Each structure stands twice: as structure tokens, then as C-alpha cells.
A and B are shown apart, each in its own frame.
Chain A
Amino acid sequence: MASSSPNMLTKFESKSSRAKGIAFHPKRPWILVSLHSSTIQLWDYRMGTLIDRFEEHDGPVRGIDFHKTQPLFVSGGDDYKIKVWSYQTRRCLFTLNGHLDYVRTVFFHHELPWIISSSDDQTIRIWNWQNRSLICTMTGHNHYTMCAQFHPKDDLVVSASLDQSVRVWDISGLRKKHSAPTSMTFEDQMSRANQNQADMFGNTDAVVKFVLEGHDRGVNWVAFHPTLPLIVSAGDDRLVKLWRMSETKAWEVDTCRGHFQNASGCLFHPHQDLILSVGEDKTIRVWDLNKRTSVQSFKRENDRFWVIAAHPEINLFAAGHDNGVMVFKLERERPASAFYQNNLFFITKDKHVRSYDFQKNVESPTLLTLKKLGSPWVPPRSLSYNPAERAILVTSPADGGSYELIHLPREGSGSADGSDTKRGQGNSAVFVARNRFAVFNASNQQIDIKDLSNSTTKTIKPPPGTTDIYFGGTGNLLLITPSAVHLYDIQQKKSVAELAVGGVKYIVWSNDGMYAALLRKHNVTIVTKALEQVSTLHETIRIKSATWDDAGVLLYSTLNHIKYTLLNGDNGIVRTLDQTVYLVRVKARTVYCLDRNAKPKILNIDPTEYRFKMALVKRNYEEMLQIIKNSSLVGQSIISYLQKKGYPEIALQFVQDPQTRFELAIECGNLDVAVEMAKQLDRPKLWSRLTTEALAHGNHQIVEMTYQKLRQFDKLSFLYLATGDAAKLTRMAKIAEHRGDFTARFQNALYLGDVNDRIQMFKEIDLYPLAYMTAKSHGLTEECESILEATGLTEDQITLPAVGSPLTPPKPVVSTFKANWPTKATSQSFFEKALLGQVEGLSLEDEPVPTSHSFGFDDAGEEDGTKRNGALAEVDDDEDAAGWDMGDDIVPEVESDFVNVDSAEAGGAGSSEADLWARNSPLAADHVAGGSFETAMQLLNRQLGAVNFDPLKPRFMEIYEASKTYLPASPGLPPIINYVRRTVDETDPRKVLPIIPRDIESLATNDLQRGYEAMRGNKLEDCALIFKGILHALLVNAVSTASEVEEAKKLVTSACEYSIATAIELSRRKLGSNDEVAQSPEKLKRSLELSAYFTIPKLEVAHRQLALLSAMRLSYTNKNLNSALSFANRMLANGGAAKMLDNARKTKAQCERNPNDALEIEFDQFAEFDICAASHTPIYSGSPFEVCAFDGSKYHSKFKGTVCAVCKVCEIGKNGSGLKLVA
């Protein structure tokens, strides 16, 4: 088959005699074909099967049509007959007779119960098929009428005849006459009665409206446009003519020239501005309706075309030729699309590139138009998206295959038409790395690897016969040949793996890039990224598309279903589809897809089934349990599924029926359940199966029971012997004796080693020789003699064989019978336990919150402090799991956004970047990162009066460590050292600056929170360390904006306050235990003072409340009621947790009765003062003090010149230029 168009896609072909008429079913995938051989065939073109044949016509059948809604079709043949058929009952319902020559075409009316027919008798007739009568005969043509059709909406008919004319008829009169009147006049009745007769006098039922003349030969076919006032006709003059009509006139618009033989059929494309025509020149031609130029043509080698038909809804056409029918589409309907994370990129029908956001479920406006790509009627074939460059690669089959590389506009809306487009020739193009793409050219069998400037960097010769390429994981391609798929390594230029799967059409990668699905027409093969086959499945219906869900389940769509398959090939139906869609993404219960009009659609699915199966495969029992609990999945099907898939122990949980339960229990070796079921059923067969199973398990107790049930005494005896159960063996002997079963008795006696019993038995059955021998061999002389006596023989008279040693039964080594062997534990899976509710881990509740809080001042109180604190914890937010949680934290939200730090100085080439840093920045941190510690120290000394650098050493080293990376390069040489920048986008060596770890953001979000936590948790040593760390980190740091400087300063102050506070409280605790303190008035005084000072630093309110609470309790217990009162008042003023306020209120009430202090302390609640960070004594306002230039902690002036107690770095009172954090 030669085709000049790459786009015409044949969907179905049949072999038969000449096809003269075709009709599509409007809903089902059916097509009726009327043949020259008198047969009418009904095909399912989707499955490719012949559904039925109708053979009642005599001679060729030319006209055929389905009824739009009813299960009817009509046919007209050379036997002058019009037949109406039911395809349900598969027979002809009735025949309409009247035509006097061949019937050429028959069509149903779209709403009225009418049929229109055209015939070689030069008439057009309209029939009512409900009352099976002829209602109108239209005469006027003076040669064969070849075709007559109703207008799809208006009361018009168009007809074509070999008289070279096309006629348009107005049949509104006919409709008026036959529309059901409410009241019938006499005339009406008359006319209705006479309607069957051709009206000889000016028949007004159907009048010729226009006669269109233009064809030079007979006209074979004519058709209305579905919406526009246009008509197309095809004639023996090899022309296809387009006509336009208005209310009053009609005229020829243009002619489509191209057929070089009689044009036999034509029609308008139902949705696009196209005309299709067929001819005896063996071609199907497609014309542009607006330009009347040829768009495509398709030629068959040997078959002349006779008829063409269009599906009313979907993009399908059928053409009948000398040897059958072909159903085809003009173009691929798969919208080109690609998705990345939460965005789908796709190309609409009018070649606009759009994106769709899965999260917001919104479609973007047009990002780009691709009007220039390919030819107007050829849609793009594929789209490949490059997230790094935000570029797309679009291929089009037009002009022998071409591709375009276009950058999407950055700001969504600007619908650029791709001015920076790079183009080239190629059949497929895909991105293979973020800066490379591969272009495959089928004609010269070559793959070019190109960079983003569209220049070829590498050329690859693919394996012969390659038809398509797909992305194959980074640096790899998947090459598709007709018989295999190759995984091709671009670097090594060779195929690293090959899998013999033929006819692969599409490849879909899983989201994690571990698996790929190879889609064929009817198969899906799942492979790993190394191209090892995992599973494959077959579908009878065509597979259209596939996508992976995040859990690794492949969902694929066929023409009418969405199905799933697990990696192990387990598959099933998810839902049905009423129209074909192309899946692009699955998220939880939502499937995103594109329909054939390239509109994003959202379908809801129930993923329970595959999630359950998936959980089963992964043995994720928790999820299974969850699913079982929450959905109505459990049924017979799931049980048999579980059993089939080798999960009897799970299936067991669902089954009630004892028989099935027994089977499952045996299968999974759950003997307890098996016994239970066997007891219920009590059938020998089950018992014996149980025996076998129990024996295999070594569970002799069950074996014993089953033998008893089965009354298998011999086996039972042997079992007792084997287990060494002598007592029961004796009983068995008794039973045997009782039963009179001598063999059994002998056996038991043997097992027991009971000689006497054996002799006795032999005697009983008159086997004296054996009895004698037994006695003799066991040396029982007396017995021997008595036997001899009884038989009347003497020893001389008998000849004895040599007597062996007596047989003694072995002594049991272990008393096995006492207990079972340690049998294999019945496989009680996690799942079962979970089902039985034994697993607590499943509950989602957290562990109970530990409530261990201790704070020294509690022991003297009347209440138990722990309890109270615990109670507070309950009252408060749950995040405060430990320690003192007393309200919400007010934490400064620090936002940091690095902006390039400006610098002034210039650097030169040849010096390392580390040196540049020091030059580029006046910040100590940058000097540290550059390794220039001396200058960094100088800077700090000047800025902040830093003198004691030892505490900063860890910070210095930390910054320095973070400054360089080690890139392994040429073997044998040390790695290349590169310098890590915080100015990532900067390349100007004068502006680059180093990365400084633990920036202000991380300090505020991590360290500060940890500090608060330590505070809450009453871990004051940790707390002090953390805040010191924060101070040191801030001392040597860099930020980018002025607002961040403010943040940093706030953070410094806050860290300073906390450091002082913790230092005060820690020094109070160092005074000794509460008892010790209570004994020494001096210490008690200091203790009370310190606890009061503890309330001074500006902590977060919640933490201050703690300090106040502590101070209040201490004062109260030591009868400093006045102080306690002031603390209580402050607490109440602060507000916060209700419990604590309650407490304060009570204390307040108590104190107000006697507001006096028992012990005078240096704490004036009404005075303004700060705390000296070194001596922890008040600095009243007005008195001289010194500060630390860095953290701002205050000191009595006597401390001037010493190292700051808070930061431990700076010299007190040495004023510098201040902390510098931004360059």
C-alpha cells in the first residue's frame, strides 16, 4: 500500500466483493457494508469481527443506512426493493416496493420516520417506514438519480443525477402535511388519504428549489455540509465541486481538481474544514474546504473506490472499494503531552501549548502557539519537556518528520509563538539529559545527540530497522525496532541491553524511573530500567495509553477501560470508559487524562483493589488491614485470589465455611484451626489428611487423636512405641486382647517386650512350637517345661534351630509422648494479630506524654509540684511535652532571603577564591571562610572589642570547614578544590562571597528553638550552652539585608538575656540543696535575691512566668510574703496558663493578708534596674555601668576591661564600631 500521507491511519480492513454502500452505527463500533454480491455485512471494526450477514436482496445492494436511535437499518438494491431490517431480530421487517429500477441510495431522516431513496427510475422517493407507505415521489431528473440525501436540519433534500445536475428540493410542504395536526379538517383527511398517490396537479409537497449545473458529466454523489449552507458533489467529470446556497439562490463556489478518474463519492468532514472524496482512480483525497487545495491523498494499488462515509461523532471514515472496506482516521488523535511533577504540558487541537496544574486543577492559558510547526492539518506527534530549561521539544510527522525546540515563556501568560525556536528534520526527538536531546531520523537511520543550541555533538548509528526512540533513563535511549527494544548507552555508543518485544509503540516510565512500561497494540510489557522484563500481559482490546501511580502500579487505558497491572503482572479493571482517553497521571483516587479533543479530564477511580493487591505483594499488612476495615472488598473473589496467590493464612481470616477453612488451614499449616474444623466436619478423609499434615509437622498429639478417630490401632501402637509411651502401649495391648486381634496383640507384646504375653498368646492359638521357642530363647525354662508337658513331648523329641539372643525393645531415650516436639509455630502473621486486635502499634495515638518535671523549689510546697506541673502540661499545648510549658511561644519568625552582598574592592586573577573573599568583604565571617584568621580577628577586635578568641575557635573552624569542596579529578593528583559560595548566581570574582553555615535563619529555627526547649525542659546547663553557641554563631556571621541585621540583633539580645537568666538561676542552684540553703540565712538571702533577679531578664513571657512562679514559691515558703505578692501580681499581669494564674491568685490572696517580708533582700520591686552579668547584682538606673560591645550585657564599672561573662569573647567596656553582618 503506497501512501503519500503519513497520517492516514487504517483501523480496519475487510476482504469481500465490491463494497457499494457503507453506514456507521452512531454509537457502537459497527459498520454496515452492502456488497455487489447481494450480501449486507455487519462488522465490528474495533474488534475486526463479522457480526452478521443479511442476504435477502437479489443482486447488488447499493444503499444502506442505520437508523439513528432504533435498532433498524435500511437497504436498497438492484432488485428495486427497499428493505428495512432489525439487527436485533436479525431479519428483514418489511420491504418497500415502488421503484421501477435499481435503488441507488437510501437514508433515514434524522427525526421523522422517513426514508429517502434515489433510483435509476429517475425518481426520488420519500417513504414513511412506520406505516410503510410512500409519501412523496420527486420527479424532475431526467437520468438516473445517483444519490439523494436529507438536509441534517432543514427541510431540504439534495440529489445528484447522471443528467449532470444537482438539485436542491424544498420539502417543507411535506413536513407540514405530515406533522400531526391537532384537529383534522376534511381536506387534511383527504390529502392524507391520497398521500400515496403521486399528485399530478402542481405537487407542492416537494418542490425544486435550485438546480445546480456545472458538472460536465453525470454526478455520482452529493452531500450537505453538517452546519454551513454548503454542498459538495462528485461526478464522472473527475471533479469535486463545492456549492453554496442562500435563501434565494445557489451557486458554484469552486472545483477541486485532482482525481484522474470518475469521482464516485464525497463528503464534508464532520468537524474540520475538510472535504473528502474517493474515486475510481483508486485514491482517497482530502481537500481544504477553504482553499480547495489538496491536503492529503491516499492511493490503493488495485482497488477503485466506490463510496465514502463518515462517522457522525468520532474521527473515523470508511471507504468501500473493489475488494472490501477500509475504516481509517485522517490523523492521530493522541494529544502530544508530557508531565513533570505537578504540571502537564499538552498541545491542543489548534496547536496551542498549554499546561495543566494537577494540584490546583486549573488549565493555564496558552503558553505558546505552534502554528508554524508542520502543515496546518497535521497535529504534532510528541512533546518532550525539559524542566531544567523549561523547554519543550515537539515533533511533527509533517514534511517527512520535523522537530522544534522551544523555550516556554517564563511568565505563564505571554503566548509567544516561539521566536527562539530551533528546528530540524527528524522523526522523533526526546530529551536525554537536561542539556542534550536526541533526534532520530528514520530515513537515514541516524540519531543525533544535540545540545540546546541545536548543534550536533554526537552521532549514533542505531541498530538497523529502528523505528522510534524514547528516553531510556539518564544518558540512555530506548530504541524501538520492529522486533526488539534496545537500551542504548549514548556515552558508550552501544546497546547495553536488548529485549525481544516486537511492535512497541509507546514507552511510559514510572515516576521513580525504576520501571518502564512498553505498550504495544495489545500487550503491555513491564521492564526494569536495565531492560529486564518483569511481566507482560495481553489485552484483546487496543491499549491506548498508560501511566504509573506513585506506588508503582501501572494504570493503562484501552479503548473502553482503565485497567491496572502490578509489577508481577496481576491485573484487573479499574473502571469503564465511555470515550477513549489518554492517561497522563494518577494521584490517589484521581486519574488525569486528555481526551481526543486534547482537553484535560479528571476521572475518579476506586484504587482499593489494586492497592490491596499491592499491599499484599509488599506484605504491608497494616495497609491491608486498613483497606479491609474501610472498604467492602472482602468477598469470595478476594479469598480465592488470596489462596491462588499463596496467601492462605490471610484468606483463612476471611472464611467462614468449615470445609474451605480446613483446606486453607492445611495449606498454611495452621493445625489448630484444621483440628477445630475437622472436629466440626468429622469425616475420615479429613482426619487422614490431617494425620499426614500433623505427622509432617511432628505434632504427634494430633496424630494420636486422628488415629484414635480413625481407629487405626496398629498405627497408634507404633506411634506409642515411637514416642515411648509404654503406658498407652500397654493399654493398646489390652485393647488388642479385648478385640481378639492376635496380630495386634503380638505386635503390642513385641513393642512392650512382654514375653509372657506372647507365649500366652501362642498357646491360646495353639502355636506351641512358637511358644516354646519364645520361652526357650528367653530362657524361661519353667515355661518350656510346662509347654512340653502340655504337648506331651520331651525335649529330645524336638530339634531346635540355633537359639538367638532374645529381642528386647529399645528403651526410649526421651519421653517424647509427654509433649509435642517444639513444632513449627503456626504462621500467625502480623496480619492475623492485627486482625485479632493484638497489635497496639496500629493505634495512631501517641505514647502517653511523660510528665517528669522537677524544679528545685517545689519540695517545700503543700502540693506535689510534679503533679501540678504535669497538670499544667495537660492544660497547655501538646507540643510542650516536657518541662515547664506555660503558654505559647512568641518566637521571632526570621525570614532570610539571600541577596548578593555588594562589595567594593577589586580582585585579581591568580589568587585563590578564598583570598578574594577576604578582599571582597569587610565581614569577619568571610575572612574566616577565606582562611584569613588574623584579619578576621583584627576585624572582630576593632568592631566589637573581641579579645578572647578561644571560645570562637569551634565557630571559626566550622565556617572554614564549610568553605571548600574536594572534586576528585585526574587520578593520581589531589582533588580540585573549589570554594562554596553563598552567592550562587554570581560569577564576578569581585563579588563572590563564601557560604557561612548556620545563618540567621537556621539559628532562629533550630538553635533558638532548642534553647527554648532546654529552658522549658529545665535543662539550664544545656540552655546556657545553646545560647552561648547562638551568640558565637552570630558573632561571626553574614546576612544579606538590613532587616536581617535587625533580626540578628534581636537574636543577640534575646540570647544574651537568656544567658544571663540561666547564669543567675544556675548560680542560685549552686548555693546548695534547699535544705542547706534553708539553714544558712546568708545563703537563703542570696537564694531569694537570685530567684528575684531571675525574673528580671527579658525572657519570653512563658519563660518569665516560670521564673516568676519559681520566685513566688520560694518567697512564699520563706515567708517573704511581700515579695511573693509582687511576683504573683506580675504573673497575673502577664496572663497565660489558667492553672498557673489560679495558683498566683491563691498565693496573692494569702499574701495580701500579711504583706511583709520575713527576710530583707536586695530587691526593690518598684525600682528600675538591670542585672550585672558578672556579679548578678542590681545596677540601678543612674548608676554607672559598662557594656559588652557585642551582646550589650551590662556590668558594674569595676568589671571594665575583663572579658564579658556572657559571650566570653569581648572585653567589657571596649567600644568598637559595632557588629557588622552585612557587607
Chain B
Amino acid sequence: MDPFSAEGELLNLHNYFHQGQFQEVVDFDAVGLSKENALPARVFALRAQIALGQAKDVIADVQGEQEPELVAVGALAELAAGNESKAGKIAEKLAKESGDNSTVQVLAGTVLQAAGNNEEALKLLGNHQGNLEAVALMVQIHLQQNRTDLAVKEVQAARRWAQDSLLVNIAESWVGLRVGGEKYQQAFYVFEELAQAPATSSIQSVIAQAVAEIHLGRLEEAEAALQQAVAKDPIQADLLANSIVLNAIAGKDTKELKSSLSSIAPEHHFLADLHEKSSLFDKAATKYSSKVAA
């Protein structure tokens, strides 16, 4: 039986993780689990630790472990700790050796994708046998490559066998936010449902709700959602990035937010992008000048 299926004992763990409730995953009491689920539970806990920024601890934890799952966790931790090349090497090796292991697929796939190795990642993930996490990851990669059509297909395929599973809903919402139109509203429902129920709410889902609302053009509601997220964690990089976007759309000043974003996550995509565009502007602007200097 699939341990993540509705009846499986890892369902909650799985859901916590994908709802962004990482602390709950770490705190999850794995004692009562059956033997075959102990390892997946541990992997989840370690991944949650990584997501909580404790990559160093995880590296130390899985040091010397032989199970491919844990090695893959190690690779992910190395990636999070900033050792991209090392992570990439481990991941490539794993992909070759145990490419049929679902955990390896997801984790090594993540590492490969993060290292910019899209094709390798997709190839590895394509091996999956009914693994929703792999599907979600593939959807994300497709979206990153702007292949919305492929992402849509992936989700529809998964929807057929995984029905109303959380991850499918979430992945569908990711795609929905890209497709737009009515899909915005549907994505919003999913995120709102997650974000507003106390049991499932996490900063991640609240931000997602806010993002959906930005896309729907409901700026006030988006602002309220972001405020809610601020209450959970005021210095989350994505939260700040989206706050900047929201303020920019509303025509408000974003300087302060930008400086706080650059202080906590100087390498955030938003800043990097902005920086690049800024220099692009300067370069492009030099091509023009007035005939007569004033």
C-alpha cells in the first residue's frame, strides 16, 4: 500500500511537508510508525530540517549512511548549504545507480534542477512510478522552462490516478497561476483553503494565497494575506519579494522592503533580476543622447 495514500500512516507527514508546515514534520512523532515507514518518515524529517535552514545538521546526521535515500538527503543538504557542485556530483551518481528509488528521484531531481540540469532532472523524474512528489517537481520544472503545456498534461495525468490528493491540487494551482483566467480563482481557492484552516496554514500557503490574489487583481485582499504572513514570519524572503511586487503594483514605495530583502536574502532571484535589469537599463540608455547638449 502506498504509505502516502489517504489511509497510509504517512499521509499527515506528507501533507505537513507539502503544506510548508516544516516544524510539524520535524516534531512528528515517528515512534508509532510501522517499520517500512520509518525510513521515509526520517527522510521527511530531514528534508524539513533542510527547509528550516538546518542543512549543516542534516549533513552531519547522514554522514556515512549508505541507504540511497539518505545519501540523496545528504546531496540536498549540501545543495542547501551552498556546495552546489558536490551536491550535483552525488546526485548524478545516485541518478545512475538508484534511479528507480522514488526518494532519490525527488531529491536528486531537485538537486539537478537547482544546478540547472533540467534535462537530467526530468529524465530522472520521468522514471517515477506513481510518485506524486516527482510529478509536482516535474510540473515545477516545466513551469520554470515555460512549458505550461507539458505541465498541464502532467497534472491532468496525475489527477486521473491521484484524484484529490493535496499535492495534485497544489501542483494544479501552480499551473493555474501560470495559465490565468478562471484558473486564478481556482488556484486561489486551493491556497486559501490551505492558508485559512488553522490545521494546514503555513507561511508558504499564505504567501501563495496572496500571490493568487495579486494575480486576481485583488490588491487589498492580497495585502491582508501578506500581513497575515508577516505575523507568522516577518523576514521570509519570498514574503518580502511578493510584498515588494504588491507595493509596486499599488504604486507605493518599495525602497524599504528592498533593502530589508537584500539584507536577509541578497541572492534572491528578485534582487538579482532587478540588478541585472538595472545595468541593462544603464547600458541601453547610453545608446541615446540629445543632438545638442543642454
Contact = CB atoms under 8 A, between A and B. Distances in A.
B294 interface: yes
A947 B180 contact: no
B204 A997 contact: no
B292 A1200 contact: yes
The interface residues of chain A, by DSSP majority, are classed as: loop
A1211 B211 CA distance: 40
- Across chains A and B, which 8 residue pairs bring their CB atoms closest together, nearest first? A457-B164, A1201-B292, A475-B197, A1201-B291, A987-B181, A962-B248, A949-B285, A961-B248
Contact of A957 (B79, B277, B292): B277
Contacts of B149: 909
A978 B50 contact: no
A2 interface: no
Interface size class of B (residues with CB under 8 A): 35 or more
B140 interface: yes
A968 B274 contact: no
Interface stretch (B62-70, B97-105, B249-257): B249-257
Given A931-B277, A957-B274, A975-B269, A476 B177 contact: no
A992 B111 CA distance: 33
A980 B245 CA distance: 9
A972 B76 contact: yes
Interface string B39-81: 0000000011011000000000000000000000000100110
Interface string B201-220: 00010011001001111000
Contacts of A963: 245
Q: Which of A964, A969, A985 has the most CB of B within 10 A?
A: A969
Contact of A910 (B147, B192, B244, B285): B147
Contacts of B294: 1202-1203, 1205
Contact of A968 (B50, B136, B204, B278): B204
A628 interface: no
A970 B146 contact: no
Given A474-B193, A966-B270, A984 B184 contact: yes
A84 B216 CA distance: 76
Interface string A752-764: 0000000000000
Contact of A997 (B147, B193, B250): B250
Interface string A930-955: 01011001000100001111100100
B189 A458 contact: no
Interface string A957-996: 1111111111111111111111011101111000010010
A1205 B290 CA distance: 12
Interface in A426-451: 433-436, 449
Contacts of B273: 931, 964
Nearest to A999: B251
7 contacts: A489-B197, A913-B146, A913-B178, A965-B211, A967-B211, A976-B143, A981-B180
A978 B211 contact: yes
B29 to A, nearest CB: 15
B113 A937 contact: no
A781 interface: no
Given A995-B249, A1202-B292, A961 B254 contact: yes
Interface in A986-1013: 986-987, 992, 995, 997-998, 1002, 1006
Contacts of B217: 982, 984, 995
A937 B288 contact: yes
B155 to A, nearest CB: 13
Interface string B278-294: 10111011011111111
Interface of B: 6, 11-12, 15, 17, 20, 22, 47-48, 50-51, 76, 79-80, 110-111, 113-114, 136-137, 140, 143-149, 163-164, 166, 174, 177-186, 189, 192-194, 196-200, 204, 207-208, 211, 214-217, 238, 241-242, 244-245, 248-251, 254, 269-270, 273-274, 277-278, 280-282, 284-285, 287-294
A496 interface: yes
Contacts of A474: 192-193, 196-197
Given A493-B6, A957-B274, A968-B238, A1211 B291 contact: yes
Contact of A960 (B196, B277, B289): B277
A966 B148 contact: no
Contacts of B214: 965, 980
B146 A912 contact: yes
B21 to A, nearest CB: 11
A857 B290 CA distance: 38
Interface in A393-441: 433-436
A268 to B, nearest CB: 51
A496 B199 contact: yes
Given A968-B208, A1200-B292, A976 B174 contact: yes
A761 B113 CA distance: 105
B166 A491 contact: yes
Contacts of A1201: 290-292
A933 B290 contact: no
A968 B251 contact: no
A978 B215 contact: yes
Contact of A1006 (B183, B216, B251): B251
A972 B73 CA distance: 11
A909 B148 CA distance: 8
